[in-house]
Homo-oligomer: A and B are copies of this chain.
Amino acid sequence: MPRDGGPARLRLQQAALDLYAERGFDQVTTAEIAARAGVTERTFYRHFADKREVLFDGEKPLRDALAAGVADAPEGLAPLPTVLWTLRTVVVPVLEGNRAFSEPRHRVIAATPALRERDQAKQAVLTEALATALRDRGASESTASLAANVGMAAFGHATIAWLDHPDRSLDELIREAFEDLHTLTVPLAAVDDLV
């Protein structure tokens, strides 16, 4: 999502997103993105490695913000609640505050296999950052990894629901996803008698 960087960088991101939404990712060239943003193609490549990366600018800042959020979470909070707390206080405000960009961005990614692959790689990086930060707070290796993986899965679920429900807030949907997560796990013990 657009955040830091000069106006050229932000204009390039918006131009890319608009063009991908209009014509599909595969039909758009970096020259066209640059032209729409009013800069040269050379400027495009000064800011982004390729036309995929233009939509994944926020990975490192987001990774750092997640790690800082986990470190700052209230003392004594258990691992999965720490993930929920971090998502609600660090990630949700950014996405909610920039819905005009983040919503079409999610739609373009969902519709484009090459971008979905990149997004999955990003989720994996963020999951690993969360797990590391949870270990640094004292969670065991196994608990940290499970809480990070499952928390990110619930978060991914909530962001997709957000696209389908423009009337609802992401914060509400994330709370709901984690509540549902608890409800879903209650009848698990029954499986032992069936396998």
Contact = CB atoms under 8 A, between A and B. Distances in A.
A145 B120 contact: no
Nearest to A195: B88
15 contacts: A78-B187, A81-B190, A81-B191, A142-B161, A143-B180, A143-B184, A146-B154, A146-B180, A149-B153, A149-B154, A152-B153, A153-B153, A181-B188, A182-B182, A182-B188
- Sort chain A's interface into a size bin: 35 or more
B184 A80 contact: yes
A160 interface: yes
Number of this chain's copies in the assembly equals: 2
- Taking chain A's interface residues, is the majority helix, strand, or loop, or is none over half, making it mixed? helix
B153 A190 contact: no
Nearest to A158: B146
A11 B147 CA distance: 39
Given A88-B191, A117-B120, A152-B153, A146 B185 contact: no
A68 interface: no
Interface stretch (A36-44, A45-53, A99-107, A171-179): A171-179
